[in-house]
């Protein structure tokens, strides 16, 4: 087990660094927005563009991980990604940021490499923990919330991508030295692409895609959206706004390992069911906009303000982060149980769906904000997505009816 845990720790460290880089525009996007005078929709596009490429690349990288092994693919990814990260420094107009952001986003696909890689070192009854622990690397989003504002305040935003590029190169060296060759990879003829894609015919894959588009998509979208939300809604500076945004991204990262252990103990279905209800409650409260009511009383008009202040909003955001963390872990417990032999490509497919959710949500939130002028509309949209997930899990698992219309037992 010594090698297994060494691989797990160094892979998680690499994923922390990758995720911090992937979320960089959530912080440096604020001074870039001011510099380029962007509206909310353009800002959403700026922050979401790296998420798009990180999502799209998860499928091919998951396939390559099954074929060539996670050690080689992860090392190459870290080395190549440092180039576009450094080039962000030289961008001056929006289209340049978007083009470089597409290349930079490759680091987000590291999840589809590391998840099947670490899972291969653990027995089936410990894979939920292993994948959850690795998934805790999403705490890199919180790391970015602390590191990037400090760099921006002292050296300016253009220093952030330079430092992050050097960090990627150093991480590549550390990962290669401490990781190990994949067990079971290279000793047999790899499956063809057509054979790997047969898994798309399984309807369970699409159900798990929907779950992950909410949990991971919601997490990544909110991680890049919340610093400017705190600044706009509560008038906070960039450093304070980013620190409070970490109240969401930090638990969603660190507690994912706990979610993996709970999935091993209680099953993926049970955890996912209760996680969705917890998210439903939190989003219902977070969705309520700041409201000023004027009530006609016998003494004349009386004004009443209804809305969440900063100290009520932040704990609720923390609760939402915990719910999404456990949901991300339970989704991959499903995958580890149901698709252990094709985990690389299934991870790529489901990760692609989650990443696309993270890409589309900031753009939709920006459009809603420009249209309605209500910042909490972001949570209103997520609230609707949770409803879809609850309906789906009820009809496919709680009532134990297979999505093909046949009676079956719960997969957990």
CATH code for position 373: 1.20.1250.20
The reply to whether 411 falls in a domain is: no
The reply to whether 299 falls in a domain is: yes
Partners of 304 in beta bridges: 293
**Structural domain harbouring 51:** 2-398
The reply to whether 410 falls in a domain is: no
The reply to whether 127 falls in a domain is: yes
The reply to whether 404 falls in a domain is: no
- Give me the number of domains the chain comprises: 1
One digit per residue, the tens of pLDDT, for the chain of length 412 reads: 588 889 999 999 999 999 999 889 988 998 999 999 998 889 888 988 898 888 888 878 877 887 788 899 999 999 999 999 999 999 999 999 999 999 988 998 898 888 889 888 888 777 777 877 887 787 888 888 889 999 998 999 999 999 999 999 999 999 999 999 887 665 556 666 676 677 777 878 888 888 899 998 898 889 889 988 998 889 888 888 888 888 788 776 677 778 877 888 888 888 889 999 999 999 999 998 988 888 888 888 888 888 888 999 999 999 998 899 898 888 878 887 777 667 767 877 888 888 888 888 988 999 999 999 999 999 999 999 999 889 888 887 776 644 444 444 444 3
Contact 335, 208 (CB under 8 A): yes
Prediction pTM value: 0.74
The reply to whether 406 falls in a domain is: no
b/e 360-388 (16+ beta carbons within 10 angstroms → b):
bbbbbbbbbbeeeeebbbbbbbbbebbee
d(CA 131, CA 113): 11
pLDDT score for 81: 94
Residue 84 CB partners (closer than 8 Å, separation 6+): 100, 103, 104, 106
């Amino acid at each position: 087990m010594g090698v297994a845990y060494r691989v797990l720790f160094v892979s998680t460290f690499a994923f922390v660094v990758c995720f911090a880089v992937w979320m960089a525009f959530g912080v440096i996007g604020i001074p870039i927005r001011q510099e380029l005078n962007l509206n909310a929709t353009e800002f959403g596009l700026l922050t979401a563009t790296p998420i798009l490429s990180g999502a799209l690349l998860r499928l091919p990288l998951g396939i390559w991980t099954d074929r060539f092994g996670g050690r080689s693919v992860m090392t190459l990814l870290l080395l190549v990604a440092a180039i576009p990260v450094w080039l962000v420094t030289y961008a001056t107009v929006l289209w340049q940021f978007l083009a470089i952001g597409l290349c930079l986003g490759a680091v987000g696909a590291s999840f589809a490499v590391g998840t099947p890689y670490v899972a291969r070192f653990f027995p089936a009854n410990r894979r939920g923990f292993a994948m959850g622990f690795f998934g805790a690397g999403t705490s890199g989003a919180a790391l970015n919330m602390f590191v990037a504002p400090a760099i921006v305040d002292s050296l300016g935003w253009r220093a952030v991508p330079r430092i992050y590029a050097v960090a990627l190169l150093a991480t590549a060296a550390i990962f290669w030295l401490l990781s190990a060759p994949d067990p079971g990879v290279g000793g047999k003829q790899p499956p063809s692409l057509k054979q790997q894609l047969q898994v798309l015919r399984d309807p369970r894959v699409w159900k798990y895609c929907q779950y992950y588009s909410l949990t991971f998509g919601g997490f990544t979208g909110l991680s890049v959206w919340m610093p400017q939300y705190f600044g706009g809604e509560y008038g906070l500076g960039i450093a304070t706004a980013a620190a409070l945004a970490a109240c969401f991204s930090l638990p969603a990262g660190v507690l994912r390992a706990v979610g993996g252990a709970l999935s091993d103990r209680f099953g993926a279905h049970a955890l996912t069911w209760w996680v969705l209800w917890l998210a439903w409650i939190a989003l219902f409260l977070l969705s309520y906009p700041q409201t000023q009511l004027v009530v006609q009383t016998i003494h004349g008009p009386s004004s009443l303000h209804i809305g969440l202040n900063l100290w009520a909003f932040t704990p609720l955001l923390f609760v939402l982060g915990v719910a999404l963390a456990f949901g991300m872990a339970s989704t991959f417990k499903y995958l580890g149980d149901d698709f252990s032999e094709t985990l690389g490509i299934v991870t790529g497919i489901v990760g692609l769906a989650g990443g696309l959710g993270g890409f589309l949500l900031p753009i939709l939130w920006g459009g809603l904000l420009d249209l309605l002028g209500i910042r909490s509309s972001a949570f209103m949209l997520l609230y609707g997505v949770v409803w879809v997930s609850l309906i789906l899990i009820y009809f496919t698992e709680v009532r134990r009816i297979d999505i093909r219309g046949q009676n079956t037992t719960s997969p957990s």
